[in-house]
Amino acid sequence: MSQEKRITLGITGASGAIYAVNLLKNLTVHYQEVHLMISDAARIVMATEIDLKLPEAPQKIQQLLTELCECSSDVIKVYSKENWYSPVASGSAAPKQMVVCPASMGCVSAIATGASNTLLERAADVVIKEQGQLILLPREMPFSTIHLRNLLTLSEAGVTIMPAAPGLYGQPESIDDLADFVSARVLNHLGIDNQLGHAWGYKR
């Protein structure tokens, strides 16, 4: 269990919905509160890639994901993109850890420039200014020079840039194995021991 026991998760419209859902399931195991924001584009991608059709209302999304993750009803807290009264919008109340998975290049650009046009972007800005831990999992191929400059700006600000690029040395047998690898690396950086994958040089 994380020492703070609270974390923020942002899910944007980049490809990689399976990574987001896999990570969410694992975060609900290790944290007492997961503050969640899902962009409209992310809902479209989820329906397209993993046939997960999320409703529009945050409360209904919260109920559906709580059932999917098989966690207590008070763990996942879903906010709309304009809920500026939510805890994640303020440095005095926001969790000190946040992950954006997957992170679209539009979201990366907004965070890098401090745009804060949506609650997700504001939440990331809060974590950076409060010197917390922000992890971004960008999903794009190839990266343009603009993308790389934005990612460099964020890295220089202390953000961990962790592309969703699962290792193959574990001889994965399914897409779920690849998603487990990515979640394991994120959990490791959050300071959480886990058994999702194995380190290089160790067999299963």
Residues making up the annotated binding site are 13-15, 39, 139, 169, 185
What is the C-alpha separation between 5 and 30, in angstroms, rounded? 7
What is the C-alpha separation between 4 and 149, in angstroms, rounded? 32
> Quick check: 62 and 77 in contact, CB under 8 A?
yes
**pTM of this structure:** 0.95
**103 φ, ψ to 5°?**
-110, 115
Set out the domains of the chain in order of their start, with CATH numbers: 6-189 (3.40.50.1950)
**173 φ, ψ to 5°?**
-110, -5
Residues making up the annotated binding site for FMN are 13-15, 39, 139
Nearest CA to 7 out of 21, 154, 23 is that of 23
Q: Which band of pLDDT confidence, cut at 50, 70 and 90, is reported for residue 32?
A: very high
What is the C-alpha separation between 151 and 58, in angstroms, rounded? 30
Strands 76-79, 133-138: pairing kind: unpaired
Residues making up the annotated binding site for dimethylallyl phosphate are 169, 185
pLDDT digits (tens, 9 = 90+) for 115-160: 999 999 999 999 999 999 999 999 999 999 999 999 999 999 999 9
